Amino acid sequence: MQLAEFALGPLETNSFLLHDEQRAVCIDVGGDPDEVLAYLSRNKLTLTHILITHLHFDHVLGAASLQKATQATLYCNHRDLPMLERQNYGGMFPPITPFSYSDLDEGPLPLPVAECSVLATPGHSPGSLSYYFAEAGVLFDGDVLFRQSIGRTDFYEGDFRTLAESIRNKIYTLPDSTRVCPGHGPSTSVRAEKISNPFVPGL
């Protein structure tokens, strides 16, 4: 299993490609997906799925464009849908181009590239999903848990207690060695955050 990372869009949101040298899945599309498309084409990969961690604009700005270019199936959670219309920010950021989606919730998600477990991890947004790939030992958690930080809870339906519960019950219960790849900034591990995260200590 190979992992490629791209920082896309106005907030340099991490987008990830997980692939087996034939097929790939993409996690979040924070802006113009040209780099992602170039990588897919250079490595002769077929993108089968686009997995969205949550529907804040900076995680889906390039979703419609990537979907149009690849015909990949896009998954997100319906609890975040009301946010799609609430993110104008006085025209500070480009509007979200509509995309088609399939509703996804907690549970197993067999993908061509690997088995994935979908975890419901609300608190930063009501429909935040995290994607756990047990065999690769990697978690894509959007804006739930960052290295030495956690997601904001002052947006639509954000809630600190809910976020802390998601982190403790869904993320800190994964194997300590799990690599955590968040939506912004560097990756970390379950072990490192349990020991030293200043906002949600795990021990």
- Where do contacts with Zn ion occur on this chain (CB under 5 A)? 56, 143
Backbone angles phi, psi at 145, to 5 degrees: -125, 125
The C-alpha atoms of residue 158 and residue 86 are separated, in whole angstroms, by 14
Our CB check for Zn ion shows the closer of 74 and 83 to be 83
Q: How many CB atoms lie within 10 A of CB 3?
A: 16
CB contact at 8 A, 139 and 179 = yes
CB of 54 to Zn ion, least distance (A): 6
Q: Which is nearer to Zn ion, 56 or 79 (CB)?
A: 56
Please say which residue, 58 or 193, places its beta carbon nearer to Zn ion: 58
Q: How far is the CB of 84 from Zn ion (least distance, A)?
A: 13
Residue with the shortest CB distance to Zn ion: 56
Q: Which is nearer to Zn ion, 141 or 143 (CB)?
A: 143
CB 56 → Zn ion: shortest distance, Å?
A: 3
Which of 143, 193 has the CB closer to Zn ion? 143
Supply the minimum distance, in Å, between the C-beta of residue 163 and Zn ion: 11
Report in angstroms how near the CB of residue 191 gets to Zn ion at its nearest.
24
Backbone angles phi, psi at 118, to 5 degrees: -90, 130
**Helix orientation angle between 34-42 and 63-70, rounded to the nearest 10 degrees:** 30
Q: Are 199 and 149 in contact (CB under 8 A)?
A: yes
**Helix or strand (DSSP H, E) at 140:** strand 138-142
